[in-house]
Amino acid sequence: MTKFVLTAAALVASANAFAPASQSRTSTSLNEFVRGYVGGEGPEPIPFSSQQTSVNWDPFDLAGRAPEWVPWFREAELKHCRAAMLATVGFVVPEFIRVPGEQFSFEAVPKVLDAHDALPQSMIQIFAWISFLEACSFPALANMDGFDRAPGDFGFDPLGLKPADPQRYKDYQLSELKNGRLAMIAIGGMVAGASVTGHGFPYLP
C-alpha cells in the first residue's frame, strides 16, 4: 500500500510537465519551460474532459503557481521515473532468479512481497545505499539555479551514450520520461496486484 501511495504521489508530481499556455502572468517562464523540456505533448482531446488539448496539461496549475519550481518538479519526476523503472525490474526478476544465499532462496522467501519483512538487514543496506546516493546528489540539487544544469543531469555517462545531436538527445530524454511514467503506474499496479492476489508474476487471481 505504501508503494501505491508513493506512486500516486509521484504521478501528481509528474503533472509539472504540463502547463496551460493561457496563463499570462507566467507566460515567459512557461514558454521557456515548454521550449526546454520534453514531455508536454499528448493526444487531443483529453478523454472524458471538456479540455480540447492535452498539450502542456497541468490540471493543478503547478507550473502556473510556482514557475520557479518547475525545474525541481522535473527533477523529482525524473528521480521517481528512474526509481520506478528499477523497481519494476527488481520486482519481477526475483520471481525467477535469486542471488546465492540460503536467506534469499525461494524456500526462505517464497514471495517477493515478503522480502521486506523477511530480510530486514538487506532493507537496511538498501536504505543506506539510497541515502549515500542522495547525499552525493545534494550539492547538484542545492545549486539547481547556480549553473547551467538540466534537471536530472548528473553528468554520469560512463558508457558515452549521450548523443551529440540535440534532436536525438531530446528523443532519448522523451523515451526516458515516457518509460518512467509508465513504470510509475506499473509498479503501483504490480504491488497492488501482488498484495490482493497473493500470487507472483503476472499477479493473476
- Write the pLDDT tens digit of every residue in 5-34: 444 444 444 444 443 434 444 444 455 555
**pLDDT on residue 106:** 85
> Among 38-52, 54-68, 90-104, whose mean pLDDT is lowest?
38-52
Mean of the pLDDT values across residues 71-75? 85
Residue 3's pLDDT is 45
Q: How many CA atoms lie within 13 A of 190 on its CB side?
A: 23
Return the percentage of the chain with pLDDT > 70, whole number.
72
Task: Give the pLDDT confidence score for residue 62 in this predicted structure.
Answer: 77
Predicted confidence at residue 41, as pLDDT, reads 59
The CA distance from 176 to 198, in Å, is 31
Class of residue 29 by CB neighbours under 10 A (exposed 0-12, middle 13-18, buried 19+)? middle
Smallest CA-to-CA distance from 157 within 139, 141, 176, 144 is with 176
| Annotation: binding site for chlorophyll b | 82, 122, 176
Per-residue confidence (pLDDT) for residue 152, from 0 to 100: 83
Map out the domains of the chain as residue ranges. Answer: 2-13+69-197
- With CA atoms as reference, report the closest residue to 49 among 75, 82, 9, 18: 18
Provide the annotated binding site for chlorophyll a: 57, 77, 80, 179, 181
pLDDT of residue 199: 86
- 32-36, 77-81, 98-102, 145-149: which has the highest mean pLDDT? 77-81
Task: Out of 34-38, 99-103, 156-160, pick the least confident.
Answer: 34-38
Q: What is the pLDDT of residues 177-193, one digit of tens each?
A: 999 999 999 999 999 99
**Amino acid type, 162:** K
pTM of the entire predicted model: 0.71
The percent of residues in the chain predicted with pLDDT above 90, rounded, is 25
Q: Give residue-wise pLDDT tens across range 138-194.
A: 887 777 766 677 788 888 888 888 888 988 988 889 899 999 999 999 999 999 999
* Residue ranges at the known binding site: 57, 77, 80, 82, 122, 176, 179, 181
Range 60-87 average pLDDT: 86
